[in-house]
Amino acid sequence: MKQSLHKAGAADGSSPSEQLLFGGPMRYDGGFVRDEAASAQAGLWTVVRQIPGMLRLAWRLAWRADRAALVGVVLAEVGRAGAAALSLVAVNAALGHLFSFAGESGALRAVLPAVLAAGAAAGAGAVLAVVSSWGSDRLSPRIQRTATVALLERAQRVEMASLEDPTFNRLLESARFGIQSVHRLTNESVAVLSTLLSMAATGGVLFSLSPVLLPLLVLIAAPRAWGAAVTARRRRNSVMAWLQHMRASQLIAQLLTQTSTAAEIRVHGVGAFLLHHFEQMALASDAEQARLAAAGARTKVAAAAASGLAFVATFGLLGVLVSTGHLALAAAGTAVVAVRTGAANVSGLLSSVNQLFEEALYVGDLQTLAIEAEALAIPAGGTDLPERPDAIHVEDVSFTYAGRTTPSLDKVSLVVPTGKIVALVGDNGAGKSTLARLLCGLYRPDSGTIRWDGVDTATADRAQQFASTVLLPQDFFRWPLTLRAIVTTGRPGHHDDARALTEAAEFAGMEALLQKQDRGWDTLAAKGFEGGVDFSGGQWQRIGTARTYLRTTTAGTDGRRPFLVVADEPTSALDPAAEVRAFDNLRRLAGQGATVLLITHRLAASASADLIYVLKDGRLVAQGTHEELMAAADDEQPAAGSYRAAYLLQAQQYATRLPDPRPVADDQGSLR
């Protein structure tokens, strides 16, 4: 018997939980994880070269977010560096005086000005540090907001197919880290600037004391810089590889706590099951963190050892210089302070550069996303589409979803005449919803054309195509908003249009639902929020129908009124009376000039459509009115037989021995 993978784990290193729940390792196998050490080194220079560009992006965002705060922070940091340098010069002067006047009566008076200057410089530095931190605290949320808005704005414009693409998803996820990183990058770059200025001052003092001391300070810094960069790169590679794992863990955590899964979690015992696998996945992440910690410690030890050797060499050299008379004792004292300050600066600088390096990598993703999202965005503008074409012509259209090998639509040709109810029927997975999505402009055909009268939609203005369409999908998204906001989606001018809202409610049979709500249209359809409620499946479909009506009967901001209504199983949750009414409503919409594309498995409903297209395995296999399909001879339209068989199968469910209708009491209680 084949061994169960979810008990044993898999050869690809995925945990049993990953195998069972997700069918494989939830890690991205980018080249970056195959030879981490090599890539950490090789990519170093590439990233270092990219840093200026990323800094420019961070500073541009900061400038856009709050230029006054940015200028304030920069000035405060420059001031702090100046104060630090001044303080060192004052210490040098004080030591000089101390050594020259040691034991003499005027020593204190001679030293006092320098000591006061050092104190004043330190005080000014402290005040400027407060100013800088106030400025960056003000700047951070604004930068984050600006970056978030920019990211969301771009993400909501990309093609739907790109949004489903795993590579783009990973980029989107890592760009979210980038948002957190932008303001940290700004802060760290300010810190680097300030430390560099301070180091320049310290270096200047050291150089003036003895030029050989300066290279030694650089030697102290170099190994730690290397260590910091390697660690940052390693951490980043790990985050990138484990991003999907993190998303999967978060998904499990969400599933455990959201209301839509609450019933199954309790009744089917899914809670304990998911919790177990959540823990297993967390353990896998822990192991990765432990690996990183060990590798980081090893790198740190190597860097610290090299840096320590440079430290020892520096102090040894100082001893040699003093003992050989090349350096005065006072100058040696200042050099000790300067080396210690310099080393502290180096530590600060390294921690900032380390952060900067790491943040820059994420900001790089944000930048890549901005470029990619722009390239994948639904193009703006294009040929004008007729507001109400006579027909939509689908010619030889094929379409395959990304990651699939078999086409979901295969050379489909059909005509959707305006003002008619056109039913798309066929087995599960036949391609009905896919065709509808192509007709709306959500996906583009891989080959073939979709024309509105003579205009090819491939080059048409997609905004116009969307503005001409209304969606009433099978899985109508349960927007967690007020009923008013849901029903007036895309119609901001009608939020307070009582007449339009009442008409929509009447059309959809929503009046009873509204009457039961204390807050009427302002009822929040989000259980779990204060005052929020939830609705039944059928009630949600009525809400969807009301929105469809309001959108169809009003014009958008561009003045267009939709004519194409895509109703994908719009009545699956309705009670029988509401279902009959819903199909009448679709007929009413068609009567008002709309084209209703009805996707349904209820063949009693499609029977009254003006035209029926039967799809099978992505191909159009039969077409005609209900009567034509029922009457078609097998040699004319062989596949019409499958429609006829399906229709009769459904009809039979009702045809067996119907009882006589019971007498119904009228309002006065007498029987009719």
Tell me which of 99, 401, 466, 535 binds ligand ATP, using CB under 6 A.
401
Q: What residue has token string 């050379």? A: 411
> Cβ of residue 563: shortest distance to ligand ATP, in angstroms?
22
Choose between 190 and 614: whose C-beta lies nearer to ligand ATP. Answer: 614
Q: Is 428 in the site for ligand ATP (CB under 6 A)?
A: yes
Tokens for 116? Answer: 């006061």
Choose between 549 and 613: whose C-beta lies nearer to ligand ATP. Answer: 613
Contact status, residue 482 vs residue 432, Cβ threshold 8 Å = no
Helix, strand, or coil (residue 599): strand
Q: Could you give the residue ranges of the DSSP H alpha helices within 165-269? A: 166-209, 213-257, 259-267
Tell me which of 113, 119, 319, 429 binds ligand ATP, using CB under 6 A.
429
Rounded Cα distance, 398 and 435, in Å: 9
Tell me which of 125, 227, 426, 556 binds ligand ATP, using CB under 6 A.
426
Distance of CA 344 to the CA centre of its chain: 39
Contact status, residue 356 vs residue 194, Cβ threshold 8 Å = no
Q: Is 433 in the site for ligand ATP (CB under 6 A)?
A: yes
> Cβ of residue 588: shortest distance to ligand ATP, in angstroms?
25
Choose between 429 and 531: whose C-beta lies nearer to ligand ATP. Answer: 429
Rounded Cα distance, 607 and 421, in Å: 10
Q: From 435, 27, 492, 507, select the one nearest 238 (Cα to Cα).
A: 27
Q: Is 405 in the site for ligand ATP (CB under 6 A)?
A: no
Enter the DSSP assignment of 663: P
Choose between 232 and 597: whose C-beta lies nearer to ligand ATP. Answer: 597
Q: From 343, 334, 315, 329, select the one nearest 88 (Cα to Cα).
A: 334
Distance of CA 88 to the CA centre of its chain: 48
Q: Is 445 in the site for ligand ATP (CB under 6 A)?
A: no
Q: Considering only the stretches 102-110, 378-386, 423-431, 518-526, report the one whose residues sit in contact with ligand ATP under the rule CB under 6 A.
A: 423-431
> Cβ of residue 242: shortest distance to ligand ATP, in angstroms?
25
- Please, which residues have CB within 8 angstroms of residue 608's CB and are 6 or more apart in sequence? 421, 583, 587, 626
> Cβ of residue 630: shortest distance to ligand ATP, in angstroms?
21
Q: Is 164 in the site for ligand ATP (CB under 6 A)?
A: yes
Q: Is 479 in the site for ligand ATP (CB under 6 A)?
A: no
Tell me which of 404, 657, 662, 672 binds ligand ATP, using CB under 6 A.
404
> Cβ of residue 640: shortest distance to ligand ATP, in angstroms?
18
- Helix (H) / strand (E) element for 348: namely helix 329-376
> Cβ of residue 402: shortest distance to ligand ATP, in angstroms?
7
Q: Is 432 in the site for ligand ATP (CB under 6 A)?
A: yes
Choose between 428 and 656: whose C-beta lies nearer to ligand ATP. Answer: 428
> Cβ of residue 41: shortest distance to ligand ATP, in angstroms?
40
Q: Considering only the stretches 32-40, 111-119, 338-346, 424-432, report the one whose residues sit in contact with ligand ATP under the rule CB under 6 A.
A: 424-432
Rounded Cα distance, 598 and 432, in Å: 10
Tokens for 527? Answer: 């259980």
Q: Is 448 in the site for ligand ATP (CB under 6 A)?
A: no
Buried (b) or exposed (e) across 312-321, using 16+ Cβ within 10 A? Answer: eebeebbeeb
Backbone angles phi, psi at 613, to 5 degrees: -115, 130
> Cβ of residue 241: shortest distance to ligand ATP, in angstroms?
25
Q: Is 570 in the site for ligand ATP (CB under 6 A)?
A: no
Tokens for 516? Answer: 């039961």
Choose between 586 and 615: whose C-beta lies nearer to ligand ATP. Answer: 615
Q: Is 162 in the site for ligand ATP (CB under 6 A)?
A: no
Rounded Cα distance, 329 and 322, in Å: 7
Q: Is 642 in the site for ligand ATP (CB under 6 A)?
A: no
> Cβ of residue 601: shortest distance to ligand ATP, in angstroms?
6
| Total residues interacting with ligand ATP, rule: CB under 6 A | 12
Choose between 187 and 408: whose C-beta lies nearer to ligand ATP. Answer: 408
Rounded Cα distance, 485 and 508, in Å: 16
- Helix (H) / strand (E) element for 426: namely strand 421-426
| Helix 166-209 and helix 107-155, axial crossing angle in degrees, nearest 10 | 160
Strand 611-616 and strand 595-599: the pairing is unpaired
> Cβ of residue 164: shortest distance to ligand ATP, in angstroms?
6
Tell me which of 69, 430, 455, 486 binds ligand ATP, using CB under 6 A.
430
Q: From 145, 633, 595, select the one nearest 414 (Cα to Cα).
A: 595
Residues 293-322 that bind ligand ATP (CB under 6 A): none
Q: Is 224 in the site for ligand ATP (CB under 6 A)?
A: no
Q: Considering only the stretches 263-271, 430-438, 490-498, 559-567, report the one whose residues sit in contact with ligand ATP under the rule CB under 6 A.
A: 430-438
Q: Is 600 in the site for ligand ATP (CB under 6 A)?
A: no
Tell me which of 15, 136, 140, 434 binds ligand ATP, using CB under 6 A.
434
Identity of the amino acid at 386: P
> Cβ of residue 175: shortest distance to ligand ATP, in angstroms?
22
> Cβ of residue 460: shortest distance to ligand ATP, in angstroms?
23
Q: Considering only the stretches 29-37, 387-395, 429-437, 655-663, report the one whose residues sit in contact with ligand ATP under the rule CB under 6 A.
A: 429-437
CA atoms within 13 A on the CB side of 451: 13
Burial of 370: CB neighbours in 10 Å, binned 0-12, 13-18, 19+: middle
Q: Is 30 in the site for ligand ATP (CB under 6 A)?
A: no
- Please, which residues have CB within 8 angstroms of residue 180's CB and are 6 or more apart in sequence? 144, 362
Q: Is 672 in the site for ligand ATP (CB under 6 A)?
A: no
What order of strands is seen across the sheet that includes strand 564-568? 469-472, 564-568, 595-599, 421-426, 611-616, 619-624
Q: What residue has token string 């996707």? A: 599
Choose between 363 and 599: whose C-beta lies nearer to ligand ATP. Answer: 599
Q: From 402, 43, 36, select the one nearest 241 (Cα to Cα).
A: 36
Q: Considering only the stretches 42-50, 138-146, 216-224, 428-436, report the one whose residues sit in contact with ligand ATP under the rule CB under 6 A.
A: 428-436
Contact status, residue 95 vs residue 332, Cβ threshold 8 Å = no
Contact track, ligand ATP, 336-365, x by CB under 6 A: ------------------------------
- Binding interface with ligand ATP (CB under 6 A): 164, 401, 404, 408, 426, 428-434
